[in-house]
Amino acid sequence: MNNYQFDSLKFATEGLTGGGCTIISDVKGLPSFMIPFNKRTNAQLFDGGSEKTHSAFVVDDVEYKRFFFSKFINCIVDGLAYSWPLVDPKASINYDASHAACNAKGTGWHLASIPERAVINHLIYKSGFIPRGNTQYGKHHTYTYEVGETTATESDGSGGTRTTRTATGSGPATWFHDGTRNGIADYVGDVWKWMSGLRIYKGEIQIFVGNLAAKQVSHLAASTYWKAILPNGSLVEPGTPGTLKYTKDFKIATDTGAAGSTYTANFGNLVAGTGVTTIPEILKELFLAPVSGVTHTGAFWINNEDERLPVVSGGCNDTSNAGPSALNLNNPRSNVRTNIGFFSAYPFSQTGKFTDFSQCKKGKRDLFQFRP
């Protein structure tokens, strides 16, 4: 895609959406459709939040004006992740491979992070509109007339087939995060989405400082960037006594309790447990604990045995368990399933314009030759 074609696509996209969606290229000069989110404080996002800048906008102690989040669940072309419409979302991919496909796009590109998801979730609940999606084999489980375009099927157990995945953005406006086609498509349902910047290890909640995921630091199990959390919100080294854990009985506590896996039908059922008088702000900021005044939609899964990485929002068969708040901490990083995919994200350049095209190369092939 040459520079003129690329600028035309950018101009048309931003013009038709009123700036609600833009185009960002990667090291191959190919575009992704991205949604901007401007910097906000915790106080602007949730009740009881402080005036500190939300973690999603802080990368290695530098504040960013905005971040960009994929408009569409990503596909992969030549090893790189792309946010493109009306394609089969990439699935059957583990955490590390999702991470690699995002990082391969160039500096700043990364697997969408828990802090970025938190901003979007806070805004969803502030707005009062709860997005729906493909939560029951190609349709919404309650509004069954809402359907998407089938891109994958499976046996229905009775000699026939049923839809699993649907094409990105092919559902109605209610399947976009803000209820308009200018929003993020399939934010809820279709496939679960891997998220970076969070893991639990034997129940201990571990995160990155701020939105350090955007610097493409190591996410490996042995990475030194993982930090645990004390009840006062301070970050400490993993394994420090008295850090916060998720327990099997849906508590946020300083002891792990019984080992194993379980689930509760609503994320809002999480409460403070042993050693925790008040859940610290950082967990609410990152949408890792319920926020007061919010009626949560989505379930919570926990497995406090060994390392577990997050997938969010639900898939094509999760019905009422799917939703913006749905958080599944039951998967090892090696897990590969036909209903797990991912989003990519990109931080705003401090020196760039609204869209930073510094990585765009001239003379690349036309976008539409690359549609899978």
Mean pLDDT over 156-176 rounds to 97
Q: What pLDDT is recorded for position 262?
A: 94
- Both tokens of residue 124? 């969803």
The answer, yes or no, to whether residue 166 has pLDDT greater than 60, is yes
CB atoms within 10 A of CB 336: 12
Mean pLDDT over 11-19 rounds to 91
CB 83 within 8 A of CB 333: no
Segments making up each domain of the chain, as ranges: 3-127+344-370, 192-342
The answer, yes or no, to whether residue 183 has pLDDT greater than 80, is yes
pLDDT tens figures, 85-129: 999 999 999 999 999 999 999 999 999 999 999 999 999 999 999
Who wins on pLDDT, 355 or 17? 17
CB 304 within 8 A of CB 203: yes
- Both tokens of residue 139? 């349709």
Please report which helix (H) or strand (E) contains residue 253, including its range.
strand 251-253
Q: What pLDDT is recorded for position 368?
A: 30
Residues 6 or more apart whose CB falls under 8 angstroms from that of 342 comprise 73, 74, 81, 90, 93, 98, 101, 102, 111, 112, 193, 194
CB 77 within 8 A of CB 370: yes
Token pair 């995160």 is at which residue?
207
DSSP code per residue over 256-315: --S-SEEEES-GGG-EE-TT-SS--HHHHHTTSS--TT----S-EEEE-SSEEEEEES--
Q: pTM for the full model?
A: 0.92
